[in-house]
């Protein structure tokens, strides 16, 4: 009985000891699980997330070619094709006037009459002198005809014949002098009627009826302006002249081989462009040493008389026409001391910083002489954040345009 109870106690103690070990193992497992779960949570929270690679977004445009007109801009002054001063050629009082100021007149139309009384008297006197000279000539001719037979019959000496011939030649010369005096007197009388030397509009008169005017053009009577065609005068620098020559443009000369002419357009005072064009018809052969410029003149039609002589205007002169020229926006150029650069987007979206040789600027576009080819894509906005070899995300300016591939 005692042995049995001892065995039972021993087994119960072993059972208690085994349960305790099981509890400790379970505790360790739970602790490890908690630590693992916590570590996993910390790792999940602290691990770096993978960031997708992004590229700079830039605006791009394709390089195209087109015909480009290159102009030079100047300040010009308009003047009438004809500007004629009407002046008195003889002295006298203005007697009549046959026009209204500002009206159109024709060549040969009578404008003024100067008192002709004195000049009529001179014509009559000259005519009388001519008649007297003719009478003396006729008498000398008769005397000579009588003297020759007498000389042949030895009834008159050689001296008598010589005197008769001399008298006749002198009388004939007097007739010629008197005739010239009469013609001059008649011409002077004609000057008392002042006529228009050209077609045009007559300006304000410079003398009134009753004014004593002087001879030899001293007295201005009126001015005639013919502005059906006007001339536009402007000045070019010697550098611009040399550039025009380098483009085979000889101002003032027509070139049958060239398909265009150096025409001129002007902008009027209200900012509108005059609808008609003019052509350069004269360029000065020498430079003004004071200003360093030379004069150029163009003729323009003015049928509606919109252009007023004397006013200033903006002049645009066609200097050259570039066929199939490459143009890029001026804002796409990266200008440095060493020259001009553009960023070209290659098919793999990598940019290339390329040097280009530029020409003149036309309407905010720059002509590229060398360095670009048609069909390439260039960066027009956002190039300041780029460098050579960088990859970009190109975007065309229009929603329906394709991006560079």
* pLDDT at residue 31 is higher than 80: no
Q: CATH topology for 84-222?
A: OB fold (Dihydrolipoamide Acetyltransferase, E2P) (2.40.50)
d(C-alpha 94, C-alpha 212), whole Å: 6
d(C-alpha 393, C-alpha 386), whole Å: 11
To which H or E segment does residue 232 belong?
A: strand 220-237
User: pLDDT tens digits, residue range 246-260?
Assistant: 555 556 556 556 667
Domain residues of the chain, as ranges?
1-51, 58-66+324-395, 70-79+224-322, 84-222
Q: Which of 67-71, 126-130, 221-225, 326-330 has the lowest mean pLDDT?
A: 67-71
pLDDT of residue 50: 43
Q: Is 351 buried (19+), middle (13-18) or exposed (0-12) by CB count in 10 A?
A: buried
- Residues 379-397 have a mean pLDDT of 86
pLDDT of residue 231: 93
> Distance of CA 160 to CAs 135, 155, 375, Å?
21, 10, 110
Of 201, 212, 404, 233, nearest to 310 (Cα)?
233
Dihedral sign for Cα atoms in the order 94, 97, 100, 105? negative
pLDDT of residue 71: 85
d(C-alpha 128, C-alpha 183), whole Å: 13
pLDDT of residue 268: 87
pLDDT-based confidence at 233, cuts 50/70/90?
A: very high
pLDDT-based confidence at 21, cuts 50/70/90?
A: low
Counting residues of the chain whose pLDDT is more than 70, the rounded percentage is 80
To which H or E segment does residue 8 belong?
A: helix 2-46
* pLDDT at residue 147 is higher than 60: yes
* pLDDT at residue 400 is higher than 60: no
Taking all residues of the chain, what is their mean pLDDT, rounded to a whole number?
A: 83
d(C-alpha 368, C-alpha 378), whole Å: 13
* pLDDT at residue 119 is higher than 60: yes
- In the numeric block, the tokens 């008192």 are attached to 115
User: Which DSSP letter does residue 50 get?
Assistant: P
Of residues 132 and 246, more confidence is placed in 132
* Phi and psi, residue 346, nearest 5°: -80, 170
pLDDT of residue 323: 84
- Residues 120-137 have a mean pLDDT of 95
Domains 70-79+224-322 and 84-222 share a fold: no
pLDDT of residue 15: 45
In angstroms, what is the C-alpha Rg of the chain? 53
d(C-alpha 326, C-alpha 67), whole Å: 9
- Residues 317-330 have a mean pLDDT of 86
- Residues 168-190 have a mean pLDDT of 95
d(C-alpha 244, C-alpha 360), whole Å: 13
- Residues 174-201 have a mean pLDDT of 94
**212-213: strand order across its sheet:** 193-195, 110-114, 92-97, 212-213
Three-class DSSP labels, 79-121 = EEEEEEEEECCCCEEEEEECCCCCCEECCCCEEEEECCHHHHH
Contacting residues for 112 by C-beta, under 8 A, at least 6 apart:
86, 88, 94, 96, 97, 98, 193, 194, 207, 221, 222
* pLDDT at residue 36 is higher than 80: no
228: which 2 tokens? 């059906």
- Residues 285-296 have a mean pLDDT of 84
In this structure, whether the domain defined by 58-66+324-395 belongs to CATH 3.40.50.720 is answered with no
* pLDDT at residue 33 is higher than 80: no
In 3-state terms, what secondary structure has residue 145?
A: helix
pLDDT of residue 138: 95
- CATH number of the 70-79+224-322 domain: 2.40.30.170
d(C-alpha 143, C-alpha 163), whole Å: 10
Q: What is the pTM of this model?
A: 0.60
* pLDDT at residue 265 is higher than 60: yes
Strand pairing category for 104-105 and 92-97: unpaired
- In the numeric block, the tokens 């081989």 are attached to 257
d(C-alpha 252, C-alpha 280), whole Å: 5
pLDDT-based confidence at 14, cuts 50/70/90?
A: very low
pLDDT of residue 311: 92
């Amino acid at each position: 009985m005692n042995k049995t109870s001892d065995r039972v106690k021993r087994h119960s103690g072993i059972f208690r000891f085994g349960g305790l070990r099981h509890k400790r193992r379970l505790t360790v497992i739970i602790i490890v699980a908690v630590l693992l779960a916590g570590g996993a949570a910390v790792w999940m929270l602290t691990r770096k997330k993978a960031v997708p690679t992004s590229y700079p977004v830039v605006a791009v445009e394709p390089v195209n070619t087109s015909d480009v007109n290159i102009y030079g801009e100047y300040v010009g002054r308009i003047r009438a094709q004809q500007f004629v001063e009407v002046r008195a050629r003889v002295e006298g009082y203005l007697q009549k006037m046959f026009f209204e100021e500002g009206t159109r007149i024709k060549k040969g139309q009578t404008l003024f009459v100067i008192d002709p009384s004195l000049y009529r008297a001179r014509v009559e006197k000259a005519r009388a002198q001519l008649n007297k000279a003719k009478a003396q000539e006729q008498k000398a001719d008769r005397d000579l005809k009588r003297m020759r037979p007498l000389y042949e019959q030895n009834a008159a000496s050689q001296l008598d014949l010589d005197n008769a011939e001399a008298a006749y030649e002198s009388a004939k010369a007097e007739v010629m002098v008197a005739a010239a005096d009469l013609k001059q007197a008649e011409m002077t009388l004609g000057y008392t009627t002042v006529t228009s030397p050209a077609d045009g509009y007559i300006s304000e008169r410079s003398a009134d009826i009753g004014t004593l005017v002087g001879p030899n053009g001293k007295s201005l009577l009126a001015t005639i302006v013919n502005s059906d065609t006007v001339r536009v005068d402007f000045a070019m620098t010697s550098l611009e002249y040399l550039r025009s020559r380098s483009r085979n443009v000889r101002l003032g000369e027509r070139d049958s081989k060239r398909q265009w002419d150096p025409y001129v357009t002007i902008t009027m005072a209200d900012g509108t462009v005059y609808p008609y064009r003019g052509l350069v018809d004269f360029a000065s052969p020498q430079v003004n040493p004071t200003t360093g410029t030379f004069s150029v003149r163009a003729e323009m039609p003015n049928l509606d008389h919109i252009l007023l002589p004397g006013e200033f205007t903006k002049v645009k002169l066609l200097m050259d026409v570039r066929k199939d020229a490459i143009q890029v926006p001026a804002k796409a150029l990266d200008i440095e001391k060493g020259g001009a650069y553009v960023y070209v987007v290659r098919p793999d979206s990598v940019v290339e910083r390329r040097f280009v040789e530029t020409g003149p600027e036309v309407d905010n576009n720059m002509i590229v002489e060398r360095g670009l080819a048609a069909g390439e894509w260039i960066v027009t906005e956002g190039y300041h954040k780029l460098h050579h070899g960088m990859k970009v995300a190109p975007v065309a300016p229009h929603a329906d345009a394709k991006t560079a591939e």
